[in-house]
Amino acid sequence: MMSRLSPFSLVIGNIARKPFRTFILSSLVAVFCMAMFAGTVIGLKISTGTQLAADRLGADILFVPYGYEKSVQSSLLRGEPSSFYMDRGLVGELRGEKGVLRVTEQLFLATLKASCCSYPVQIIGFNPKTDFVVTPWMNQSLNRAMNENEVVAGCKISGNPGETIRLFGREFSIAAKLDPTGMGFDTSVFMEVDRARRLLLDSELGLLLRIPEGLDKSTFISSVLVKAEPGTDVTSLVNGLSEKYAIRYNLDFTAIADMISSISSKLSVFASVFRMFSAAVWVLAVMILAFVFTIILQERKKEFGILRIVGASKGHVRRLFVGEALLTSCMGAFCGVVLAALALGLFHTYIDVTLNLPRIGIGFGKTLLIGAGVFVMGLVTGPLACLPLLRKLGSIDSYLIMKEGE
Amino acid sequence: MKDKSFSWLGGICAVLGMLIVLTPYCIFPVCTKMMQLEGGSFAPMKCFWTARSVLGNGSIIILAGIMTCLCRTYALRAALGVMASAAGMVVVLTPSFLIGVCAGETMRCRMQTAPSLYLLGLLTIVCGLALAWRSARMARKG
Amino acid sequence: MANILELQDVCMTFGQVKALQDINLSVREGEWVAIMGSSGSGKTTMMNIIGCMNKATSGTVILDGEKISRLNAKDLTAIRRDKIGLIFQQFFLISYLTAVENIMVAQYYHSMADEQEALEALERVGLGHRARHLPRQLSGGEQQRLCIARALINHPKIILADEPTGNLDEANQNAVMDIFHQLHKQGSTIIVVTHSPDVGSHADRIVRLEFGHMVSDGEKKA
């Protein structure tokens, strides 16, 4: 069998000789790459998702029953179903306020989890005459009015247009499905608000959902969304409206922009911690690699001396050493990026649900770019770690070998 | 030295097979409850049958791994590698195409069990192919 | 025959220690010279200077018509690679390369690795059947024969051997000396550094060193 001898085969030979050591060193680089890749992707998801949410909600102020601010955030951003109710009277009063451009109401219903195979779905009742939040998205998929027994479903609801879905014991036809929004709309079902109200009141399960005493059962809603007039200072408007209505209607209120930015900064802290961890792992990896390479250099001083004796120049020997470091890093970087991409790709839903992340992808192109960048960072780790040793490597001379042999 | 690498590959294969068996029952369990059919009777769901299927495939992978460690013939090791790869492929295809899991995105079987099986199945395919390739190479060397 | 090697007033000093003093030596092409002396006589230092592994503190060294005494390390490496074949007592083989690969390494840094040529070199020293073995699978004598094959692969001007039979038993010593005799018959210039009278007795000429001085340089008495 033909032996192929080249600097590359020498590098491969050396690495293959010490499989355990190579595995450990590669693993260090792999761990760094995995942490860096995951942190960067998650950070990008957070910023993309929250920005998208802010753009798509379209409203400036949100009113919900007192104590339900977190519930509506979870529902709007992550599609975690919830039910809460308030009086509709606020809608009319807000329309007359200065600085208010548009007002609309929504009704949130959550179906119950009847068995382990069904899963709770968020039903959002909206007013087609006044809505400015859902309708823009809906018009892209359905350009006619829905009839009594039709719903529009988010992209992650099982079923295709024309198929039926069972809600509160009634069957509805899916008129259309929305494009992905990256928000709670993806796991929600939309119907006309009065229809949603009747559905709740007529069903047996509806009796289990506590509707507060004193609420008009023919008009109750869950939230009011307000669009401010252009040029209006939203914060002042929020303060003014809340002063007037918060106690009277027992409400929580929030400026959407503040809500998004608060969520974004909390999640961003998480992403930053991830990145700091990656940086720490990288520094540790470089230090450990440098330490191990120092030991390797000492171990192989004789071998490098022999190569010098048979005619290898200092440059040849240095390239051999750096080549081994590069190949070790390359294997670790490749495995790290691939494993991280696999884990994030396969378990993306689990990760999003566990970490409360926006359920949106960042696109194949961006993922590839991040992977390439992280790979390069991992690749240079080994050569960087052995840079300080190159001088020492160059001083290994065949004469030293002779001296040691005496 | 040569036999050590086969022991490693066989061991990894066996461990992967064990994980495949344990995943739908212990690590990320699938639903055990029955669903009601149109006629009123009850039947297990897709994820139940997926779990059963990968139990069988996982056992085959464990067997292939153990036999790789015990046998000494390169040709047989290569065949075991191909067998493990094929079983790994079936593990990947079972929750995705052959049987499936529950439809809901946030159902445990879809969110945890199925991705775990994809990952383990992929790793088994890689391990099996590595075993087959190495055995074939050693057989050629003689 | 022209001189292949000339040392003119060569001195080597390490700090306060004068390892070599005023060495004058000429070696003709095709000659077999033994450099002998006890431990500390300076014979290894002399070998390092001849073998372009170290530079003399003063004096002139001319190898194959070229003054090498003031060359830099990079040029000395090139001279060593192209003109000198080195054989050591400790063999200095690369442990993870097979016999033929050890020879191909020397070829690679000289010009180009040629497996066929390397195999032929192994045949010439009687190791053709051990080409795919690692050094640890070879006996001491076989390892030294491998070193000889490696030293010869690039057709050097001088073969420089440091105690080539130091680690070998009598049978292997004789086998190695036989190879040297064959090379000598073919016209190779051989310089052997040794403290063994048996090894020195094979050479045409014996140069003796004592405390860094050349005390005798004469043809071996028949």
Separation of alpha carbons A81 and A328, rounded Å = 49
Separation of alpha carbons A118 and A166, rounded Å = 10
Residue A333 has pLDDT above 70, yes or no: yes
Higher pLDDT, B91 or C72: B91
Residue C31 has pLDDT above 50, yes or no: yes
pLDDT value of residue B60: 97
- Short-list C87, C67, C89, C91, CA closest to C79: C67
Residue A147 backbone class (left: φ over 0; alpha: ψ -120 to 50; beta: rest): beta
Top mean pLDDT of A89-93, A112-116, A134-138, C123-127 is at C123-127
Query: Is residue A232 located within the same domain as residue A303?
Result: no
The tally of domains found in chain B comes to 1
pLDDT value of residue A207: 57
Task: Tell me the pLDDT tens digit for each residue of C114-169.
Answer: 899 999 999 988 899 999 999 999 998 899 999 999 998 988 989 999 888 888 88
pLDDT value of residue C122: 92
A156 contacts in B (CB within 8 Å)? 105
User: In the numeric block, which tokens belong to residue A400?
Assistant: 């030293």
Q: Does B134 touch chain A (CB under 8 A)?
A: no
| Three-state SS annotation for C23-91 | EEEEEECCCEEEEECCCCCCHHHHHHHHCCCCCCCEEEEEECCEECCCCCHHHHHHHHHHHEEEECCCC
Query: Is residue A360 located within the same domain as residue A292?
Result: yes
The tally of domains found in chain C comes to 1
Q: Does B138 touch chain A (CB under 8 A)?
A: no
**Confidence category of residue C220, pLDDT binned at 50, 70, 90:** low
Q: Does A397 touch chain C (CB under 8 A)?
A: yes
pLDDT value of residue A338: 95
Are the C-beta atoms of residues C131 and C95 closer than 8 Å to each other?
A: no
* CB-CB neighbours of C187 under 10 Å: 9
Work out the percent of chain A whose per-residue pLDDT is above 90. 17
Of A115, A158, A349, the CB nearest to B35: A115
pLDDT value of residue A113: 55
Q: Does A210 touch chain C (CB under 8 A)?
A: no
Chain C residues contacting A, CB < 8 Å? Answer: 44, 47-48, 53-54, 73-74, 77-78, 80-82, 86, 88-90, 92-98, 100-101, 104-106, 108-110, 113, 115, 132, 150, 154, 162
What is the residue type of A342? L
Work out the percent of chain A whose per-residue pLDDT is above 70. 90
Among chain C residues, CA nearest to A6? C108
Q: What is the mean pLDDT of chain A?
A: 82
pLDDT value of residue A261: 76
Sequence-distant contacts of A258-261: CB under 8 A, at least 24 apart: A259/A62, A259/A73, A260/A50, A260/A51, A260/A53, A260/A54, A260/A57, A261/A50
Higher pLDDT, A37 or A218: A37
pLDDT value of residue B69: 92
Separation of alpha carbons C188 and C190, rounded Å = 6
Q: How many CB pairs under 8 A join A and B?
A: 41
Angle CA C168–C170–C172, to nearest 5:
55
C94 contacts in A (CB within 8 Å)? 303, 306-307
- Short-list A366, A359, A374, CA closest to A46: A359
Separation of alpha carbons B21 and B141, rounded Å = 36
Separation of alpha carbons A370 and A18, rounded Å = 31
Domain of residue B47: give its range: 2-141
Are the C-beta atoms of residues A165 and A144 closer than 8 Å to each other?
A: no
* CB-CB neighbours of A349 under 10 Å: 17
In sequence order, what are the residues at sequence separation of 6 or more whose Cβ sits closer than 8 angstroms to the Cβ of residue C109?
A307, A310, A311, A312, A313, A316, C81
A177 contacts in B (CB within 8 Å)? none
Distance of CA A91 to the CA centre of its chain: 35
Q: For position C151, which CATH number holds?
A: 3.40.50.300
Task: Tell me the pLDDT tens digit for each residue of C88-105.
Answer: 888 889 888 899 999 999
Tokens 């919900």 belong to which residue?
A64
Query: Is residue A212 located within the same domain as residue A271?
Result: no
Task: Tell me the pLDDT tens digit for each residue of C6-20.
Answer: 999 999 998 888 889
In a domain, A55, yes or no: no
Tokens 């939230």 belong to which residue?
A223
Are the C-beta atoms of residues A133 and A58 closer than 8 Å to each other?
A: yes
Query: Is residue A165 located within the same domain as residue A89?
Result: yes
Per-residue b or e along B100-125, where b marks 16 or more CB atoms closer than 10 Å to that residue's CB: bbbbbbbbbbbbbbbbbbbbbbbbbb
With residues binned 3-state (H G I as helix, E B as strand, rest as coil), the percentages for chain B, rounded to 5, are: 75, 5, 20
Residue C49 has pLDDT above 80, yes or no: yes
* Strands C66-67, C3-14: pairing kind: unpaired
Domain of residue C210: give its range: 30-56+70-219
pLDDT value of residue A120: 67
Q: Does A349 touch chain B (CB under 8 A)?
A: yes
**Confidence category of residue C222, pLDDT binned at 50, 70, 90:** very low
Separation of alpha carbons C43 and C213, rounded Å = 10
Query: Is residue A82 located within the same domain as residue A44?
Result: no
Query: Is residue A282 located within the same domain as residue A235?
Result: no
In a domain, C20, yes or no: no
pLDDT value of residue A114: 45
Q: Are B and C touching by the rule of 3+ CB pairs within 8 Å? A: no
Query: Is residue A290 located within the same domain as residue A371?
Result: yes
Q: How far is CA A406 from CA A394, B128, C142, C185, C208, in A?
A: 22, 51, 22, 31, 19
Calculate mean pLDDT across residues A367-384.
94
In a domain, C6, yes or no: no
Which of C17, C98, C105, C147 would best serve as a mutation to test chain A binding (most A beta carbons within 10 A)? C105
**Confidence category of residue A112, pLDDT binned at 50, 70, 90:** low
Are the C-beta atoms of residues C33 and C4 closer than 8 Å to each other?
A: no
Query: Is residue A230 located within the same domain as residue A82?
Result: yes
pLDDT value of residue C191: 95
Domain of residue A112: give its range: 67-249
Query: Is residue A154 located within the same domain as residue A112?
Result: yes
Helices A314-346, A348-355: inter-axial angle, 10-degree rounding: 70
The tally of domains found in chain A comes to 2
In a domain, C25, yes or no: no
Residue A286 has pLDDT above 80, yes or no: yes
Strand partners, C219: C205
Top mean pLDDT of A252-266, A381-395, C137-151 is at C137-151
Are the C-beta atoms of residues A129 and A192 closer than 8 Å to each other?
A: no
* CB-CB neighbours of A354 under 10 Å: 10
Q: For residue B71, report the phi and psi dihedrals to the nearest 5 degrees.
A: -80, 165
Burial class (CB in 10 A: 0-12, 13-18, 19+), A133: buried
Higher pLDDT, A359 or C109: C109
pLDDT value of residue A204: 63
- ipTM score of the complex? 0.86
Calculate mean pLDDT across residues A150-155.
86
pLDDT tens digits, chain B, 142 residues: what are they? Answer: 456 888 899 999 999 999 999 999 999 999 877 776 777 778 888 899 999 999 999 999 999 999 999 988 999 999 999 999 999 999 999 999 999 998 777 788 999 999 999 999 999 999 999 999 999 988 887 6
Residue A372 has pLDDT above 90, yes or no: yes
Query: Is residue A377 located within the same domain as residue A307?
Result: yes
State the chains in contact with A (3 or more Cβ–Cβ pairs under 8 Å).
B, C
